[in-house]
Amino acid sequence: MSNTESRVYLLDVEGTVAPISLVSEVLFPYARRRMANFLADGLTDSSVVADLALLVEEYRTEKDPDVPGLSTHGFPESFVSDLASETSREGKEKFRAAALQCVVVYLHWLMDRDRKSTALKSLQGKIWKSGFESGELKGTLFPDVPEAFARWASHAQVAIYSSGSVEAQRLLFRYSIFGDMTPRIAGYFDTRTGHKQDSDSYTAIAAAMKVEPGEVLFFSDVVRELDPAREAGCQTRLVVREDNAPVDDANGHAVVESFSVV
């Protein structure tokens, strides 16, 4: 299938449409500095509580022996149910007193390992929201992105698939250095759809976009993401950008250095 037959142009973010430095040097440090205060102020927000509940479930399935021991820091097992109760002031105070610090330690531990934690990514997206809306943060995109999105959107659909939350994705493109790019984007997908190294994720995205997998053209700078996309039947392109990690073996994926050629 040729590029002109692609009905969905599906794109990774970091290293594909945005420089790696935007995430590693700007967005991650911004969220890290503000995480503790954000959580302390956000315990009455049901969406924050839901993220924390998910974080606990992720922690309980953690297999890394080096994971910080939350229970040894006084982490109350019942804090999620306590927080979910609107009347449980005692539960909220218990969390503030005994759990906040160790939860932040765990979140920082996940950040240090670049874990694709759905709970972490959702919390980061909420923190970035205030930064983007205030103008303190801007979505830095590669110069070839606006023209490519406009061209592709004229005859197909553009969609984003990133380990960053859907909320964070929308912010990045709404407050980009080229203005609001969201009118060009028909769909957003994150790890709630599935992990990027799982071929079923790409099958699910194709179904959500109402196309066959073979009509999806997926762009990423990571071969281990492109391999499962190809296994699902998608077309693939390995994106090579300045400052990306070098790729020794493209494993048969066609390589592009600019969207102008696609």
For residue range 18-40, what is the model confidence (pLDDT) as tens digits?
A: 999 998 899 999 999 999 889 88
Most confidently predicted of 83-92, 127-136, 224-233:
224-233
Angle among Cα 56, 200, 192 to the nearest 5 degrees reads 30
CA 71 from chain centre, in angstroms, equals 28
pLDDT digits (tens, 9 = 90+) for 45-74: 888 888 988 888 888 888 888 887 665 444
What per-residue confidence (pLDDT) applies to 87?
Answer: 47
In this predicted structure, the answer to whether residue 196 has a pLDDT above a threshold of 80 is: yes
Report the pLDDT averaged over residues 66-86.
57
Alpha-carbon distance 1 to 230, whole Å? 13
Bridge partners of 160, per DSSP, are 11, 188
Average pLDDT over residues 128-145: 95
188 in the same domain as 127: no
The rounded distance, in Å, linking the Cα atoms of 225 and 232 is 11
Lookup result for tokens 């006084």: 74
Note whether 149 and 255 are same-domain residues. yes
Do 169 and 199 share a structural domain?
yes
89 shares its domain with 183: no
Last-in-domain residue among 134, 168, 185: 134
Q: For residue 95, what pLDDT is reported?
A: 55
Q: Can you give the CATH number for the domain in which 151 is found? A: 3.40.50.1000
**Which of these three, 96, 111, 134, is where a domain ends?**
134
Q: How far apart are CA 201 and CA 159, in angstroms?
A: 14
Q: Are residues 208 and 247 in the same domain?
A: yes
Residues 52 and 13 in one domain: no
**Whether residue 51 sits in one domain with residue 180:** no
Q: Which domain holds residue 76?
A: 25-134
pLDDT category of residue 83 using cuts at 50, 70 and 90? low
Q: How far apart are CA 82 and CA 86, in angstroms?
A: 8
The predicted pLDDT at position 140 comes to 96
Predicted local confidence at residue 70, as pLDDT: 62
Other Cβ atoms within 10 Å of 32 Cβ, number: 16
Same domain, 190 and 211: yes
**212 falls in which pLDDT band (50, 70, 90)?**
very high
Report pLDDT digits (tens) over 172-183. 999 999 999 999
43: left (phi over 0), alpha (psi -120 to 50) or beta: alpha
- Residue 8 phi/psi, 5-degree rounding, is -135, 125
Q: How far apart are CA 142 and CA 258, in angstroms?
A: 9
- How much is the pLDDT for 99? 67
Tally of domains within the chain: 2
Q: Which of 50-54, 79-83, 121-125, 141-145 is predicted least confidently?
A: 79-83
90, 93, 187, 234, 236 from 255: Cα distances, Å: 57, 54, 24, 15, 9
If asked whether residues 232 and 255 sit together in one domain, one would say yes
Look at residues 134, 153, 184 and tell me which one is the last residue of a structural domain.
134
pLDDT at 4 over 60: no
End-to-end Cα, the chain, rounded Å: 13
Q: What is the CA radius of gyration of the chain?
A: 20
Domain check: are 41 and 103 in the same one? yes
- Average pLDDT (158-178) is 95
* 54 and 95 share one domain: yes
Same domain for 256 and 160, yes or no, is yes
Average pLDDT over all residues of the chain: 88
Whole-model pTM: value is 0.81
What is the C-alpha separation between 148 and 170, in angstroms, rounded?
Answer: 18
Degrees (nearest 5) of the Cα angle 164, 27, 34? 105
pLDDT at 186: 98
What pLDDT does residue 50 have? 87
